């Protein structure tokens, strides 16, 4: 996740200028997202009116495809880029609002199972990716970045780890490009495999949440399968995101010892600085919903607000994916990432099947 997109409280003139700079890109996100929703509805209405059986393509896929077409055919002009980069912001706001659709008991149960699966997945995938990186002769810090990106949280984990282990910008760029390319592929492949295997919403949602790297792609891959699967996928990924601080801390200590520097003074402060705060917002909204602070209609409104936020996110996923730029990146980091991705997907699928009896 592009945590570099930070909104700073500055002088009023600067703030107003910054908001104005965001407007074209925000309008593009809204336009692409709404075009996806419009296409889904129009095709459904047309099919019904003409008694045709047309494939029901969700707005999620339309929004991503329209975004991809713009990004790869005409390119996204510079004026739109600041606003398009806010898709991560809408993703996180959407996840917090999604908390209204979960009772806290379900969060604890599913989140608890997810955390156990996440712990197993992280250990196995870190070991596997490290061995794979060595076998392919990648630089050790690039291998570390790829391992963290594949096992936990995609781009945000890579950015956090790069700062903590003092890795090269170039290594981080390779790792991010590989993770984004693989995320874009997973986004389309996971639903196909899920349907082929006849996975139910719960199993598929857990699998997508554990197996796909970047949160935006997890959210989209879940929503492409079904609304219920999307909810579960986001919950599982949120549990995975919560582990980011521990793994980054572990690697910071490892590299500091290896290079003879001192890594971290106050470990609790370090963990807090790396902890994704939207996880707490998600839990808070879920607790408020469980305490019946919101009535049924209000819960529906919060769920719809979450959907609108995700609509902007899905448009952003397409608009920021430039296939030609990704092709310029190194082949070996991509190969290591791709092999790791397939193995992690198979591993997490096995874990989900193994956890079935604890989920009912």
Partner 1 sequence: MTEKLDDNARREKPRGFRLSLDGWAVTLALFLSLLVALGVIKKIPW
Within positions 203 to 242, which residues make up the interface with partner 1, using CB under 8 A? none
From 92, 101, 141, 320, residue interacting with partner 1 (rule: CB under 8 A): 92
Within positions 183 to 202, which residues make up the interface with partner 1, using CB under 8 A? none
Least Cβ distance, residue 18 to partner 1 (angstroms): 12
From 164, 180, 232, 233, residue interacting with partner 1 (rule: CB under 8 A): 164
Q: Is 1 helix (H, G, I), strand (E, B) or coil?
A: coil
Q: How far apart are CA 181 and CA 337, in angstroms?
A: 9
Please report whether residue 346 would count as binding partner 1 according to CB under 8 A.
Answer: no
Least Cβ distance, residue 298 to partner 1 (angstroms): 5
Within positions 4 to 43, which residues make up the interface with partner 1, using CB under 8 A? 5-10
| Part in contact with partner 1 (CB under 8 A); list of ranges 139-147, 161-169, 183-191, 351-359 | 161-169
* Residue whose C-alpha is closest to residue 118's, from 241, 251, 279, 250: 241
| Part in contact with partner 1 (CB under 8 A); list of ranges 84-92, 130-138, 209-217, 313-321 | 84-92
Those residues with Cβ within 8 angstroms of residue 244's Cβ, 6 or more apart along the chain or in another chain = 152, 153, 156, 157, 160, 274, 275, 276
Of the pair 54, 293, the CB lying nearest partner 1 is at 293
Q: Which two tokens stand for residue 139?
A: 């630089």
From 35, 271, 288, 339, residue interacting with partner 1 (rule: CB under 8 A): 288
Q: Is 213 helix (H, G, I), strand (E, B) or coil?
A: coil
* Residue whose C-alpha is closest to residue 220's, from 147, 320, 326, 126: 320
Question: If you search the block for the tokens 């792609």, which residue do you land on?
Answer: 217
From 22, 60, 97, 158, residue interacting with partner 1 (rule: CB under 8 A): 97
Please report whether residue 79 would count as binding partner 1 according to CB under 8 A.
Answer: no
Number of residues that bind partner 1 (CB under 8 A): 47
DSSP letters of 312-351? HHHHHHHHT--HHHHHTS-HHHHHHHHHHHHHHHHHHHHH
From 185, 189, 264, 271, residue interacting with partner 1 (rule: CB under 8 A): 264
Please report whether residue 166 would count as binding partner 1 according to CB under 8 A.
Answer: yes
Please report whether residue 305 would count as binding partner 1 according to CB under 8 A.
Answer: yes
From 42, 44, 273, 356, residue interacting with partner 1 (rule: CB under 8 A): 273
Of the pair 80, 89, the CB lying nearest partner 1 is at 89
Please report whether residue 256 would count as binding partner 1 according to CB under 8 A.
Answer: yes
Least Cβ distance, residue 74 to partner 1 (angstroms): 28
> Long-range pairs for 106-110 at CB < 8 Å and ≥24 separation?
107/235, 107/283, 107/286, 110/206, 110/232, 110/235, 110/236, 110/359
Q: How far apart are CA 278 and CA 90, in angstroms?
A: 11
Q: Which two tokens stand for residue 179?
A: 């993770």
Of the pair 56, 74, the CB lying nearest partner 1 is at 56
* Residue whose C-alpha is closest to residue 209's, from 185, 188, 231: 231
Residue 52, φ and ψ in degrees, nearest 5: -110, 145
Q: How far apart are CA 233 and CA 95, in angstroms?
A: 11
Contact 16, 230 (CB under 8 A): no
Of the pair 70, 216, the CB lying nearest partner 1 is at 216
| Part in contact with partner 1 (CB under 8 A); list of ranges 1-9, 72-80, 135-143, 217-225 | 1-9
From 70, 202, 220, 252, residue interacting with partner 1 (rule: CB under 8 A): 252
Q: Which two tokens stand for residue 96?
A: 């917090």
Of the pair 7, 23, the CB lying nearest partner 1 is at 7
Contact 340, 183 (CB under 8 A): no
List contacts with partner 1 (CB under 8 A). Answer: 3, 5-10, 88-93, 96-97, 100, 163-164, 166, 252, 256, 261-265, 270, 273, 276-278, 280-281, 284-285, 288, 293-294, 297-298, 300-302, 304-305, 307-308
């Amino acid at each position: 996740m592009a945590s570099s997109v930070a909104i700073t409280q500055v002088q009023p003139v600067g703030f107003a200028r910054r908001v104005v700079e965001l407007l074209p890109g925000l309008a593009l996100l809204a336009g692409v997202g709404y075009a996806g929703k419009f296409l889904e509805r129009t095709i459904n209405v047309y099919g019904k009116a003409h008694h045709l059986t047309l494939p029901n393509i969700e707005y999620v896929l339309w929004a991503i495809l329209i975004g991809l077409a713009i990004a790869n055919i005409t390119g996204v002009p510079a004026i739109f880029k600041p606003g398009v980069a806010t898709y991560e912001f809408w993703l996180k706001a959407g996840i917090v609002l999604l908390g209204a659709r979960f009772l806290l008991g379900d969060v604890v149960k599913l989140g608890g199972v997810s955390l156990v699966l996440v712990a197993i997945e992280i250990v196995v995938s870190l070991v596997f990716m490290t061995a794979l990186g060595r076998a392919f002769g990648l630089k050790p810090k690039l291998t570390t970045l790829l391992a963290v990106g594949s096992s936990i949280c995609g781009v945000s984990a890579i950015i956090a780890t790069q700062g903590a282990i003092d890795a090269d910008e170039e290594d981080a760029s390779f790792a991010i490009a590989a993770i984004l390319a693989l995320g874009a592929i997973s986004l389309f492949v996971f639903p196909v495999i899920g349907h082929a295997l006849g996975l139910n919403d719960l199993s598929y949602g857990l699998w997508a949440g554990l197996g796909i790297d970047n949160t935006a792609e997890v959210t989209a891959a879940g929503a492409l399968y079904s609304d219920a699967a999307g909810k579960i996928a986001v919950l599982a990924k949120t549990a995975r995101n919560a582990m980011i601080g521990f793994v980054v801390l572990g690697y910071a200590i490892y590299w500091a010892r290896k290079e003879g520097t001192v890594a971290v003074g106050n470990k609790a402060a370090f963990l807090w600085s790396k902890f994704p705060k939207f996880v707490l917002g998600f839990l808070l909204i879920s607790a408020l919903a469980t305490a019946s602070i919101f009535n049924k209609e209000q819960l529906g409104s919060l769920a719809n607000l979450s959907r609108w936020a995700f609509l902007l996110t899905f448009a952003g996923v397409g608009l920021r994916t430039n296939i030609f730029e990704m092709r310029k990146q190194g082949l070996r980091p991509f190969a290591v990432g791709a092999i790791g991705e397939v193995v992690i997907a198979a591993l997490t699928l096995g874990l989900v099947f193994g956890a079935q009896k604890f989920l009912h």
